Chain A
C-alpha cells in the first residue's frame, strides 16, 4: 500500500540529520575549505524521507486516478482526475522545492482539507481518494510524537465517520457484514498508521538526540584528556627542568653541565609531549583526508603565483598526529618551491612503498643553493617533523637541469594507530 510506505519514510527522515553528518564527502566541491559549514547544510540530494513521502504520494494519486478511470464514481470523473493530478504535481513540486514547509502545521491542515474535500466530492466514503487521505496524515504524525499522533489518528477516524454519515452510504445503517468490515478497516487504518509513524519518528528523534549527546561527551572527554596530558607530562617535565637548572645556579662547572644536560633532556621531552597535544588540538586537516587538504593548499598557492601544481596519488588513513605532520612537511616544501625555485611545474606525489608512507615534492626550478642561508628554519622544522614520525627527510636535485626533490618517508604501520579517531 502506498500510504503504508510512509512510516518507514518518515522514520528515515529523523535519522537523516545525524546520518548525513556522519557520511564522508564522496564528491568534494572546490570550496570545501568551509567543509565544517557545508557538512551541516541540507545535502543537495533529496533526503530519503521526502523521497519516500513523494513516492507514496504519487502512488496514492495513481491509485485514485486508476480507480476513477475504471469506475464511474461521479459525473465529473474527468474533472476529478485533472484536479487530483494537478494537486499532486503542485504538492510534489512544493515539497521538493521548499522541504521546510513539511514541518508547518498550516500545510498539514491545508493538505488534509484539500484531500478531504476531494473525498467529500466523490460522495461515497469508500472513496478512490482514501489512500490519498491516509497519506496526508503522515506528515503531522511524523512531527507530533507518538501520543499526539495517536490523538490525530482517532480524530481523523471520527472525522471520517462523520463524513461518511453525511455523504453516504450511511456507515452505521449498512446491513451487510462485508460493508461493516470495510468500515472498520477504514476507521482503524488512520489510527494505526498515525501511531506507527509517530512512534517510529519519536524513537528516531530520541536516538538522534542521544547520538548528539554522545558526540558532545566524546569532545568533552577529548578536551579533558588533552588537559590532563599537558598537565601530567609537559608541565611536570618543565617543573623538573626548572628545579634542576635552578639548583645549578652558582654551582661548580661539572654540576652546571650535568644539570643543563638533565634539564635539556626534560625540556626536549616536554616539547615533544606538547607537539603531540597541539597537533591533536589544532589539526590543519580539519578532518579532511591528507590528499584533499594538500590539493586545496595547492589550488590556493598556484592561484597566487602561477606555477602549475599537481597532486598525484593518495594515502590510506593516517592518525591525526601523523597526518598533521605529513601535511605540514608537504605544505612547507610546496611553499619553498614556489618562493625560492622559480619553478613552472611542481608535483606532489603521495604513495605507500615497502611499508613506508612516501611524500615527495618535486619542482623543475633552479635547484638548491650550494649553501643554506642562515636561519633556514623551515628545512630544520621539516626534518624534525619527519624524525618525530620515526622517518627521514631527503633533499636532492631532481634532474640534470636543476630542480629539487624533497621526500619524507615514515613507517606506515605506526602512522595508522588511531587513524579512525
Chain B
C-alpha cells in the first residue's frame, strides 16, 4: 500500500486527488494539506511513502519545499505535481531532489503509473533535452556547473563533497543558488 500526502493550495485539486487516489487499489491518501506550515506535523504523524507536491504554492516555491522534505531522515519520495509540466521544469526538479515530475493535465491512469514507478524507487522525470541543458548552463554560475552536472547524474552527496572539496553547507548554498537562477516565472498575485 502506497501512503500518500497531498500538498496543494487549491481545494478542488485536493478533493479530486483524494477521490481518485482512494478509488485506486494499492494507494491511499493519508493526509492533504494546503500549505507548508501544515505539512510538517502531517508528515511526522502519518509517515507517508510519498508526498504529492504542487509546484506552485502561494508563499513558497514547491522545489524549496521538496528540498526540505528530502533533507529529512527516512524522507518520503516526492512527486512534483504541476500545471507547468513542460520539460523546462525537469532540470530544477532533478536538482531539488524530486523523484518524479508529472503534469496536472495527465489522466488518472498515467498518474497511477507514475506513482507506482516512483514508489518502486524509479526517478520519473522527462529526459532532459540538450537545448534546455545548454540554456541552464548559461544561466547558472560557472562554479555551480559541476554541482548541477553531478546532481543530474544522481551522484551521492558524499561523493559530491569529496570531489568538490567543499562542506555540506557550501553545497547547500550552491544548490539553492542554482534553483534560484533556474526558477520559472509563474503568474503570481497576492490579492
Contact = CB atoms under 8 A, between A and B. Distances in A.
A244 B17 CA distance: 8
A228 interface: yes
B152 interface: no
Query: Binding site of A, secondary structure by majority: helix, strand, loop or mixed?
Result: helix
A231 interface: yes
B109 A246 contact: yes
Contacts of A387: none
A239 interface: yes
Given A243-B20, A246-B108, A259-B19, A236 B189 contact: no
A390 B104 CA distance: 33
Given A241-B16, A259-B19, A225 B191 contact: yes
Contact of B16 (A235, A243, A251, A255): A243
Contacts of B111: 243
Contact of B189 (A228, A242, A258): A228
B114 to A, nearest CB: 13
B13 interface: yes
Interface string A237-264: 1011111101101010001001100100
Nearest to B103: A239
Nearest to A231: B187
A332 B83 CA distance: 38
Contacts of A224: 187, 189
Nearest to A225: B189
Given A236-B13, A255-B23, A262-B19, A242 B187 contact: no
A119 to B, nearest CB: 63
A269 B189 contact: no
Nearest to B191: A225
Given A224-B187, A228-B187, A244 B20 contact: yes
B15 interface: yes
B10 interface: yes
Contacts of B23: 247, 251, 255
A241 B12 CA distance: 8
Name, among A233, A239, A246, the residue most crowded by chain B CB atoms within 10 Å (CB to CB): A239
Given A243-B20, A244-B19, A247-B108, A228 B188 contact: yes
A249 B108 CA distance: 9
Interface residues of B, number: 22
Contacts of A262: 15-16, 19
A240 B15 contact: yes
A243 B187 contact: no
A378 to B, nearest CB: 31
Contacts of A266: 12, 16
Nearest to A252: B23
B24 interface: yes
Interface in A50-87: none
A255 B16 CA distance: 13
A251 B107 CA distance: 14
Interface residues of A, number: 27
A266 B11 CA distance: 10
Interface string B82-113: 01000000000000000000001101110100
A228 B12 CA distance: 16
B185 to A, nearest CB: 11
A286 interface: no
A243 B191 contact: no
Contacts of A231: 83, 186-187
A241 B187 CA distance: 22
A243 B189 contact: no
A94 interface: no
A266 B13 CA distance: 10
Contacts of B13: 236, 239-240
B16 A240 contact: yes
A227 B189 CA distance: 9
Contacts of B109: 246-247, 249
Name, among B24, B107, B108, the residue most crowded by chain A CB atoms within 10 Å (CB to CB): B108
Interface string B1-44: 00000000010110111011001100000000000000000000
A149 to B, nearest CB: 44
A236 B191 CA distance: 17
A255 B20 CA distance: 10
Nearest to B15: A240
A221 B15 CA distance: 30
Nearest to B189: A228
Given A240-B12, A246-B109, A227 B83 contact: no
Contacts of A258: 19
Contacts of B83: 231, 235-236, 239
A66 B3 CA distance: 100
A210 interface: no
Contacts of B20: 243-244, 247
A396 interface: no
Interface in B169-184: none
A232 interface: yes
Contact of B12 (A225, A236, A247, A251): A236
Given A240-B15, A249-B109, A266-B16, 16 more contacts: A231-B186, A232-B10, A236-B12, A240-B10, A240-B17, A242-B105, A243-B20, A243-B107, A243-B108, A244-B16, A244-B108, A246-B107, A247-B20, A249-B107, A255-B23, A259-B19
Interface of A: 221, 224-225, 227-228, 231-233, 235-237, 239-244, 246-247, 249, 251, 255, 258-259, 262, 266, 269
Across the A-B interface, give the 4 residue pairs with the lowest CB-CB distance, nearest first.
A240-B16, A247-B108, A246-B107, A228-B189
